Amino acid sequence: MMNQHGLNQKFTFDKKELLDILKKNREEHAQIVKESREGWKEQTLVKLDEFMNEIEHLDEPKQMHFTTPDLEDYTDVYDTFIMQLEMARESELELDGDQFRKLVQDKWDWQERFLHTNAIYSLTAARKLR
């Protein structure tokens, strides 16, 4: 976290430029979510088909489990910040290091977990992990 390193100085940025960057970051995030949902659905249908095939060939009932990982989606976080920026009356806004890291560099506290979870189904997420 930026505060721990004494880098909590604030700088002023152009609101329109911040909005453009944040909207681009949101689009990339939404693309990963879309890919993940499509990949999850495809892989889940394959697993269900395998389950059905196994059930058809069972002579005796047995306990079976079927789980899939939860997908993460933080699009609403982007939407909230975008709305706040759009409604702000100022044409320039002040950000500290932590805010800059999140809003501009797209390095949220949850970012790595989000990418790891969604990389199972999203090529875009997998590429961003490299």
| Averaged pLDDT in 10-residue chunks for the chain of 130 residues | 62 96 98 96 93 89 84 96 96 94 96 94 93
Which two structure tokens, joined as six digits, stand for 15?
A: 């609101």
Q: Is residue 44 part of a domain?
A: no
Q: How many angstroms separate the CA atoms of 7 and 100, rounded? A: 11
Q: What is the distance between the alpha carbons of residues 80 and 77, in angstroms, rounded to a whole number?
A: 5
Domain that holds residue 33: 11-38+72-129
85, part of any domain: yes
Instruction: Tell me whether residue 66 is in a domain.
Output: no
* 23, 82 Cβ separation under 8 angstroms: yes
Beta bridge partners of 94: 12
| Number of domains making up the chain | 1
pLDDT of residue 84: 96
* Domain assignment present for 59: no
- Residue 79: inside a domain, yes or no? yes
Q: Is residue 110 part of a domain?
A: yes
Asked whether residue 117 is assigned to any structural domain, the reply reads: yes
d(CA 119, CA 130): 11
In a domain, residue 86? The reply is: yes
Residue 106 has a pLDDT of 96
Which pTM does this prediction carry? 0.84
